[in-house]
Amino acid sequence: MTTITRLRVRYAETDQMGVVYHANYIIWMEVGRTEFCREAGVVYRDLEDKENLRLAVIEANCRFVAPARYDDEVEIHTSIAEANPRVLRFSYVIRRSIDQVKLAEGHTKHIFLDTNMKLAKLPPAYFAKFGIATAKV
């Protein structure tokens, strides 16, 4: 499954050169990841409140290809590249909506933690939503 999340570049997201500041791409990846979860039927807040789980980022990577500028509409294409009960790896491609030019691509890797910051497992009820086969338990 791949989700597409659209947003418009705000002036505050650009640097002195009029180009989107690099750190904003990581924020956009979070937006894409949150919307991916929502479309998969997972409300992140429920993971925290009902399951007492946290999804900690342990790795983030972004390769910049072309600049985004103020008022561009961009699309964050988000998918899962790796999934098991302990680790999720999301993949992202960020494109300019009007011409589909690739602006950036990257990934984030996450582990599940409990409220005491100890390693935890995703409950089986969520496996299908993240594409985890039951046999991988």
Average pLDDT over residues 17-37: 97
Strands 54-64 and 73-83: unpaired
| Structural domain count of the chain | 1
Q: Which residues form the catalytic set?
A: 15
What domain range is 99 assigned to?
Answer: 2-136
Q: Which residue has the higher pLDDT, 134 or 40?
A: 40
What are phi and psi for residue 12, nearest 5 degrees?
A: -65, -15
pTM: 0.93
114, two tokens = 């409990």
For residue range 91-102, list pLDDT tens digits in order.
999 999 999 999
For residue range 72-126, list pLDDT tens digits in order.
999 999 999 999 999 999 999 999 999 999 999 999 999 999 999 999 999 999 9
CATH number for 53: 3.10.129.10
The residue among 8, 11, 30, 27 whose CA lies nearest residue 19 is: 11
pLDDT of residue 135: 54
